[in-house]
Homo-oligomer: A and B are copies of this chain.
Amino acid sequence: MSNTDKPTSVRRRALVSKEECPMALASQILGDKWMLLVLREAFYGVQRYDDMLQDLKIPRATLTHRLNTLVEQNIMVKQPYQDAGDRTRFGYQLTAMGHDLALTFLALTQWGEKHLINGRAPVGVVNRTTGEELRVALVSTSDEITDPMLARLVKQS
């Protein structure tokens, strides 16, 4: 019926400008190799500057810069802590806003597992009380799990 070699195109444009698009705004903050890696540390519970340095092999100036941005944006806080018989130090922790990135973080992990390392999962996600395995999914208002292929973006208001 149709020419499968060279289909005709449906020409579409962005539904909203990048200035008012929440995902575009998020990309301005988080769209950076190191940002995502620093957040990974945060989700693993790593709090110290020097521990992050070693885990990530990130240049010091870059780490400082990223942590400052994360704190400015309210995604992390710099908190004093004091270990037994040690002096006061500072560690970085996720705020509520930062914790809310968990779904994004897990969705990205899930994608990486499937497409970047062929299904092996070196880190799993489980319910901390029941131990059940968890995954990220798209659900309806009535809590039905829905195939992402059925999702459609619509301009609102």
Contacts and interface: CB of A to CB of B under 8 A. Distances in A.
A99 interface: yes
Given A36-B27, A83-B8, A139 B148 contact: no
A55 B6 contact: no
Interface in A9-44: 9-18, 20-37, 40-41, 43-44
Interface in A90-120: 91, 97, 99-117
A153 interface: yes
Contact of A132 (B11, B55, B134, B142): B142
A41 B47 CA distance: 35
Contacts of A14: 40-41, 44, 46, 55
Interface footprint category on A: 35 or more
Given A102-B148, A111-B100, A148-B99, A136 B138 contact: yes
Number of copies of chain A assembled together: 2
A154 interface: yes
A104 B111 CA distance: 8
Interface string A41-60: 10111111001000111000
A135 interface: yes
A157 to B, nearest CB: 7
Interface of A: 3, 5-18, 20-37, 40-41, 43-48, 51, 55-57, 74, 79-84, 88-89, 91, 97, 99-117, 121-130, 132-143, 145-146, 148-157
